[in-house]
């Protein structure tokens, strides 16, 4: 392992390094007679104790405390996780590092389901499945009253652990045929329309099977903030005071009118951009705090210590706040320490199907609220207008976006997704667009994910042989039967979302099993997991940390609810009661708590103005305000890169 001089600026911190955290000022610290004499004058020294051994013990305690203070509480050789993930596991140093093939751990590979395969040829068209199963009429509300911050955190987390590159070669495309007469993508009934689909880059293993690559580190290590390679990580640093670069307004740095972050998808939508900005600010806040506490520390030392704590905070929020909301309390086995024989790498089924669950919870409007819960003068932002729009973040900052996300209840966790990402048009009908549901289905086939039947068998779950089974959410068995020949054939992403929730999980047995396996391995197989790195009061503080704490520390949003993942619905409380049922934020968007207290809504999930919401959605999707050329280019690039499928 590489040894780094913390007093010198380093631009090559990539490989499993052990960094020296001592500095010139605290080297050669000596215990002088004067220092020992001074200790006898300390108020906490019990020099009058009649027991001489106790007096010596007290002296030693005070001496250690003073030495720690002088040395900045840093050991001479502190090991930090590498930027590219290498060296985490000493026996298998490549485990979890960037540019590794995804695992096939929970779900078997079925190459016959890949584009052109024998099974794929008899499977229903992805757009047909989307229209029959995934189409959403009006608004829904998730059963736990979770806020938009919940799915924003899920996306932020996903961009820390998975990124599958796609091919730029048109010969590698597997475009999705559009059914003739599709009202959005083939309104002229040409029968020749299609959605572009770039296949994932893959390598061929020893068995002749295609295996996809994870381009970033698998660990929850803040790679979305810091990067997954040394050169990019270095470019994000100011090299002053251990801080990351920022631009005007305490925003992330910009290049070609786009924000620059550790992950290349930081501009994908304004909610994600706000979350990215929040954590860059938190790093710099920690760096300032450390610099003040330890004025003799070098830039390198402050950077590494701030990064270490920042990552620990991300992990703590994920495991103590996000996952209990997703999977239920105590869904994961109890943590018993680092396990060197656990491979943390990303399971293909997790990245390609199970952790795309958040797509079903996206809201069609991203609220932007002021400190009183009112819509800001610049207005809310329709989801379809929120992609690759850093200008929308700059014009009013991240505070209104985070306030809106904390207030609004996310859509239901089910197979349905809003039209903004299912019937997304690049202008008028027939001028192109994308369907996120169809892309997800095609991506699963591209990766050769096994069908629902083989998946449940591999997971040791009871077979599901009928669309009338009570395993399905109400009404979805019939919808699936309208396009698939048997339950065994159903594509994993669709089937996992269509299952009834298992226990306190948002999802059924299949997705719960895949998610539990992945997040357990990410924790147990990470030598630098926060509970294996921190102790005492620091560990206690981390275990009590909440996302609301991070928001309050780094924004002017100082009245965020304690659990930011549960919607406050503050934007509803400021509206006249009679107007609530007629606004675009319908009663079905309220959390269960607000619904029970509202006279407008009869019960959970009842939408009193479903038809008007549907009409408004149609009008929005067929707006006479087409996207700009730059937006179209950005979105097409996003589709090609697999960011949206």
DSSP 91-123: SSTTTT-SSEEPB--SS-B-GGGSTTSTTGGGS
Higher pLDDT, 418 or 635: 418
pLDDT at position 631: 54
State the DSSP H helix or E strand holding residue 434, giving kind and residue range, or none if neither. Answer: strand 433-434
Q: Which of 69-73, 180-184, 616-620 shows the highest mean pLDDT? A: 180-184
| Global confidence as pTM | 0.81
The residue extents of the domains of the chain are: 100-220+323-640
pLDDT at position 336: 97
pLDDT at position 427: 76
Higher pLDDT, 346 or 431: 346
| Model confidence at 328: pLDDT above 50 | yes
Pick the CATH number of 100-220+323-640 from 1.10.640.10, 3.40.50.300, 1.10.1740.10, 3.40.718.10: 1.10.640.10
Predicted confidence band at 39 (pLDDT cuts at 50, 70, 90)?
A: very low
pLDDT at position 425: 83
- Closest by alpha carbon to 590, among 577, 611, 607, 565? 607
Helices 547-554 and 270-293, interaxial angle, to 10°? 80
| Model confidence at 8: pLDDT above 60 | no
d(CA 287, CA 293) in angstroms, rounded, equals 10
Higher pLDDT, 5 or 443: 443
For residue 373, what are its two tokens?
Answer: 């819960």
Instruction: Reduce the DSSP state of residue 499 to 3 states and report it.
Output: strand
Give the residue numbers marked as catalytic.
159
pLDDT at position 30: 40
265 and 161 Cβ atoms separated by less than 8 Å: no
Predicted confidence band at 573 (pLDDT cuts at 50, 70, 90)?
A: confident
Instruction: Reduce the DSSP state of residue 457 to 3 states and report it.
Output: helix
532 and 524 Cβ atoms separated by less than 8 Å: no
Rounded average pLDDT over 594-599: 34
Candidate from 76-80, 605-609, 630-634, 637-641 with smallest mean pLDDT: 605-609
Give the single-character DSSP code of 216: S
- Closest by alpha carbon to 152, among 442, 383, 419? 383
d(CA 396, CA 402) in angstroms, rounded, equals 11
Instruction: Reduce the DSSP state of residue 357 to 3 states and report it.
Output: helix
pLDDT at position 12: 32
pLDDT at position 260: 98
Rounded average pLDDT over 585-606: 35
pLDDT at position 599: 30
Q: What angle do CA 93, 95, 98 make, to 5 degrees?
A: 100
CA-derived radius of gyration, the chain:
26
Q: Kindly give, in sequence order, each residue whose CB lies less than 8 Å from that of residue 401, ignoring residues fewer than 6 positions away.
A: 270, 271, 274, 366, 368, 393
For residue 470, what are its two tokens?
Answer: 């009570």
pLDDT at position 426: 78
pLDDT in tens, 181-195: 999 999 999 999 999
For residue 323, what are its two tokens?
Answer: 């996952």
| Model confidence at 633: pLDDT above 90 | no
Candidate from 318-322, 348-352, 568-572 with smallest mean pLDDT: 568-572
pLDDT at position 610: 30
270 and 386 Cβ atoms separated by less than 8 Å: yes
Instruction: Reduce the DSSP state of residue 163 to 3 states and report it.
Output: coil
State the DSSP H helix or E strand holding residue 492, giving kind and residue range, or none if neither. Answer: helix 492-498
Q: Kindly give, in sequence order, each residue whose CB lies less than 8 Å from that of residue 336, ignoring residues fewer than 6 positions away.
A: none
Q: What angle do CA 67, 68, 73 make, to 5 degrees?
A: 150
Candidate from 31-35, 68-72, 113-117, 207-211 with smallest mean pLDDT: 31-35
pLDDT at position 432: 82
Q: Kindly give, in sequence order, each residue whose CB lies less than 8 Å from that of residue 121, ignoring residues fewer than 6 positions away.
A: none
d(CA 64, CA 43) in angstroms, rounded, equals 15
| Model confidence at 641: pLDDT above 50 | no
- Closest by alpha carbon to 358, among 217, 167, 565? 565
| Model confidence at 293: pLDDT above 90 | yes
pLDDT in tens, 213-258: 999 999 999 999 999 999 999 999 999 999 999 999 999 999 999 9
pLDDT in tens, 302-312: 999 999 999 99
Higher pLDDT, 299 or 12: 299
Euclidean distance between the first and the last CA atom of the chain, given in angstroms as a whole number = 38
For residue 396, what are its two tokens?
Answer: 């009013």
Q: What angle do CA 269, 275, 277 make, to 5 degrees?
A: 100
pLDDT at position 430: 80
Candidate from 125-139, 267-281, 428-442, 541-555 with smallest mean pLDDT: 428-442
506 and 536 Cβ atoms separated by less than 8 Å: no
| Model confidence at 292: pLDDT above 60 | yes
Rounded average pLDDT over 125-137: 97
pLDDT in tens, 358-401: 999 999 999 999 999 999 999 999 999 999 999 999 999 999 99
Higher pLDDT, 618 or 83: 83
Percentage of the chain beyond pLDDT 90 is 75
Predicted confidence band at 1 (pLDDT cuts at 50, 70, 90)?
A: very low
Predicted confidence band at 626 (pLDDT cuts at 50, 70, 90)?
A: low
């Amino acid at each position: 392992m590489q040894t780094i001089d913390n007093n010198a600026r380093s631009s090559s911190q990539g490989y499993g390094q052990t960094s020296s955290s001592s500095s010139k000022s605290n080297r050669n610290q000596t215990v002088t007679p004067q220092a020992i004499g001074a200790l006898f004058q300390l108020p906490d020294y019990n020099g009058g104790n009649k027991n001489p051994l106790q007096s010596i013990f007290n002296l030693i305690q005070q001496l250690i405390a003073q030495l720690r203070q002088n040395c900045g509480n840093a050991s001479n050789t502190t090991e930090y996780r590498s930027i590219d993930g290498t060296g985490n596991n000493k026996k298998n140093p490549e485990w979890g590092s960037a540019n590794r093939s995804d695992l096939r751990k929970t779900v078997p590979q079925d190459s016959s389901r890949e584009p052109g395969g024998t099974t794929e040829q008899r499977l229903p068209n992805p757009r047909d499945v989307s229209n029959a199963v995934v189409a959403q009429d009006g608004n829904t509300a998730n059963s736990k009253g979770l806020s938009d911050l919940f799915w924003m955190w899920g996306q932020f987390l996903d961009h820390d652990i998975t990124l599958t590159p796609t091919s730029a070669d048109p010969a590698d495309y597997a475009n999705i045929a559009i059914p003739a007469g599709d009202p959005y993508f083939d309104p002229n009934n040409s029968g020749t329309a299609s959605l572009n689909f770039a296949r994932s880059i893959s390598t061929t293993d020893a068995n002749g099977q295609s295996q996809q690559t994870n381009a970033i580190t698998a660990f929850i290590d803040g790679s979305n903030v810091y990067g997954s390679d040394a050169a990019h990580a270095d470019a994000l640093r100011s090299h002053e005071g251990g801080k990351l670069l920022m631009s005007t307004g305490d925003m992330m740095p910009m290049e070609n009118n786009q924000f620059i972050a550790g992950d290349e998808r930081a501009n994908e939508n304004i909610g994600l951009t706000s979350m990215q900005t929040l954590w860059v600010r938190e790093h710099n806040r920690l760096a300032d705090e450390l610099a003040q506490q330890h004025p003799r520390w070098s830039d390198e030392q402050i950077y590494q210590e701030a990064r270490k704590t920042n990552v620990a905070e991300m992990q703590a929020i994920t495991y103590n706040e996000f996952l209990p909301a997703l999977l239920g309390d105590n869904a994961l086995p109890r943590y018993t320490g680092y396990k060197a024989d656990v491979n943390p790498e990303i399971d293909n089924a997790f990245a390609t199907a199970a952790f795309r669950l958040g797509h079903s919870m996206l809201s069609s409007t991203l609220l932007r609220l002021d400190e009183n819960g009112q819509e800001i003068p610049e207005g809310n932002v329709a989801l379809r207008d929120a992609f690759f729009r850093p200008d929308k973040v700059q014009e009013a900052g991240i505070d209104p976006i985070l306030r809106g996300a904390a207030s609004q209840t996310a859509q239901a966790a089910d197979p349905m997704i809003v039209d903004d990402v299912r019937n997304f048009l690049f202008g008028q009908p027939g001028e192109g667009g994308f369907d996120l549901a169809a892309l997800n289905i095609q991506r699963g086939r591209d990766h050769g994910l096994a069908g629902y039947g083989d998946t449940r068998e591999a997971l040791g779950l009871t077979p599901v042989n009928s669309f009338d089974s009570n395993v399905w959410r109400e009404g979805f068995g019939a919808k699936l039967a309208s396009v698939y020949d048997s339950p065994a054939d159903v594509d994993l992403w669709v089937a996992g979302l269509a299952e009834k929730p298992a226990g306190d999980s948002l999802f059924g047995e299949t997705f719960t099993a895949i998610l539990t396996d992945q997040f357990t391995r990410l924790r147990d197989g990470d030598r630098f997991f926060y509970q294996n790195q921190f102790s005492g009061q620091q560990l206690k503080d981390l275990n009590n940390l909440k996302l609301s704490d991070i928001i309050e520390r780094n924004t002017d949003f100082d009245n965020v609810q304690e659990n930011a993942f549960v919607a406050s619905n503050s934007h509803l409380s400021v509206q006249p009661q009679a107007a609530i049922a007629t606004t675009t934020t319908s009663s079905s968007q309220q959390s269960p708590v607000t619904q029970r207290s509202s006279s407008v809504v009869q019960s959970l999930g009842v939408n009193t103005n479903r038809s008007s919401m549907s009409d408004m959605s149609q009008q929005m999707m067929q707006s006479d305000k087409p996207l700009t050329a730059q937006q179209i280019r950005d979105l097409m690039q996003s589709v090609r890169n697999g960011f949206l499928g």
